[in-house]
Structure 1
Amino acid sequence: MSKINVLLAEDELALGMIIQESLESRDFKVRLCADGQKAWESYQGQKPDVLVLDVMMPKKDGFSLAAEIRKIDPHTPIIFLTSKSQTEDVVKGFGLGANDYVRKPFSMEELIVRIKAHLDKIRVRQSQSDWITLGKYEFHPTRQLLKLGEIETPLTARESQLLQMLLENANDITDRTLILNQIWGSDDFFNARSMDVFITKIRKKLQDDPAIKILNVRGYGFKLVC
C-alpha cells in the first residue's frame, strides 16, 4: 500500500518538524512548508492526498491558501491546524471549504484519526458503484435511485449529489457554504434558497423512515442523522 501523502504548512519550524516526524514514523509521507506561498507552490507541483494547514502564516495565510486550492480542487481534504479558536474563525474555515478544524494544542493521535477518517470518506465516494444502506432505504449514487423494499424512487442529479454529500458526513455537520460551492458553484442568496428547496425534497423522499432526519444546524449547515 502506498504511503499517505500529506502537505503540511506550518511556520513554527520546531512544531512542524515534530508533526512531520510523528507522521512519518507512522508511515505517512510529509512535505513540510514554512509559509503559505511555498505550500501553494508545493501543491501545484505535486497534489497531496490531504492538506494540513496552519492559519497564521507569512506570505499567504491558511485561509487564503485554502480558498485558492478550492477554486481548482473541491475534493482533497483540508484540515486547519491552528490556535485561532473563535467561533467566527471556525465558521470562516469551513466556509472556505475546509473539512476539519483541529485546535492547538492537540494530540498526534487525534490528528491521525481525523486524517484517516477524511481519506476513508474519499475512498467510499470513489467506490460507490453499488447500493448503500441508509436506514430502511438503499441509495445508489450513480444510478440516482432510492429504494425502499421493491419500490424505487428516482432522484435528480442534484438531489443525488446532495444526499451523497450528506451521507459522507452522516451524523456530523456538512457545512452549508461547502455544499453550495461544490454542488451549485457559488454560495449566493439564490443558490442558498434553491438548496433549501432540495433539502425539503430529499426529506420528503426519506419520510417513510422516521429514524432518518436531516437537521438544519443554524449558522453552520445540515446534519443527516441515520
Structure 2
Amino acid sequence: MRIAVLDHDRSEAELICQVLTAAGHLCHSFDSGRDLLAQLRKEGYDLLILDWQVNDLTGVEFVRRAKEKLPATTPIIFLTGSSGEDDIVAGLGAGANDYLIKPLRRGEIVARVQALLRRAYPSQAGAEQLTFGQYVFETRTGRLLMNGVVVEVTHKEFYLALLFFRNIGRPLSRAYIHEAVWIRETAVPSRTMDTHVSRVRNKLQLRPENGFRLVPVYSYGYRFEKLGA
C-alpha cells in the first residue's frame, strides 16, 4: 500500500517510512503540509500519517484540505506529543481515523496502520489473492491468471501490472513507478521501464477492445484506464 508521512522532523518521518517499508509498504516522507497537498493533486495515497503540529498548516486545516482531494475511505493517522484529551478529540473531530502518541513504538505503528488498511480496503490489505475482473494476482506465489489461464510474467512485470490495477484512473509518475517496482535499483534507463510497460500491455492484452487502456502521460509517466468505468 502507498503511505505518505508528514512530519516537520524529517528524521522521524524517515524512521516511520523505514518501519513501514520493512512491513511491505511503499512510503514517502514530507516535511511540508503544502508540499504533500500539492502531491495529492498528482498522485493518491492509501493512507496518510501526519504530525498534528506541522509548521506551515494546522492539523485541522491539513485534514480538511486533504479530505477534499482523497477518496472518503482514505484513512488518516495523526501523531501527537500529548496524551491530553483536547488534542485527541480535536484530531478525531477533524476527520482523522486514529492517533499515535510520541515517542513512537515501531510495533504499534505497524499494527495501527495494518488495522486501518484492513478496514479501509478489505479486499486488498494482506490478501494473498487479488482479483480485478478476469485478472487474478496471487501475491505470495507471483502467479498471474487471466480468465483462469496462467500468464507467464517476470517478477517485475507482475508487480508492474499489479501497480497499474491498484491505481486505475490515476496517473503514475515515472519516479513513482521506479520506486515501487525497481526499489533499490538506482539507475534504470527510461527505455527499460517502457519495455516492461509494453510487455505488460501485450501479455495481459490491455487494449481498448478488451476494456482497458494503458497510455503514456506526456513528460510524466503512465495512466491505466478501465474504459466505460
Please, which of 151, 156, 159 is the counterpart of residue 154 of structure 2?
A: 156
Q: Distance in 2 between matches of 1:83 and 1:158?
A: 30
Number of the residue aligned with 1:205: 203
Unaligned runs of at least 5 residues, structure 1: 1-5, 10-35, 48-68
1:130 counterpart = 2:129: yes
Tell me if structure 1 keeps the 8 A contact 2:136–2:144.
Answer: yes
Pick the aligned partner of 1:147 from 133, 145, 148.
Answer: 145
Aligned to 1:117: 74
Aligned: 1:108 with 2:78: no
- TM-score calculated relative to the size of structure 1: 0.52
Q: Aligned equivalents of 1:171 and 1:186: distance in 2?
A: 27
Q: Which amino acid in structure 2 is aligned with residue 128 of structure 1? A: A
Separation of aligned partners in 2, 1:155 and 1:132: 17
Q: How much is the aligned-residue C-alpha RMSD, in angstroms?
A: 4.3
Q: Is the 8 A contact 2:13 2:29 kept in 1?
A: no
How much identity, in percent, do the aligned residues show?
16
2:47 pairs with 1:81: no
- Give the C-alpha shift of residue 150 in structure 1: 3.5
CA–CA separation in structure 2 for the residues paired with 1:132 and 1:138: 4
What is the identity, as a one-letter code, of the residue corresponding to 2:26? H
Is the contact made by 1:78 and 1:98 (CA closer than 8 Å) also made in structure 2? no
Go from structure 1 to structure 2 and tell me whether the alpha carbon gap of 1:127 and 1:180 turns closer, same or farther (over 3 Å shift): same
Partners of 2:206 and 2:71 in 1: how far apart? Answer: 33
Give the partner amino acid of 2:170: D
Pairing 1:180–2:178 present: yes
CA drift at 1:132: 1.1
Which consecutive unaligned segments of at least 5 residues does structure 2 have?
47-56, 76-115
State the aligned residue count.
160
Q: 1:222 maps to which residue?
A: 222
SS in 1 for 2:205: coil
Q: What secondary structure, in the 3-state scheme, does the structure 1 residue paired with 2:211 have?
A: coil
State TM-score, norm by structure 2.
0.52
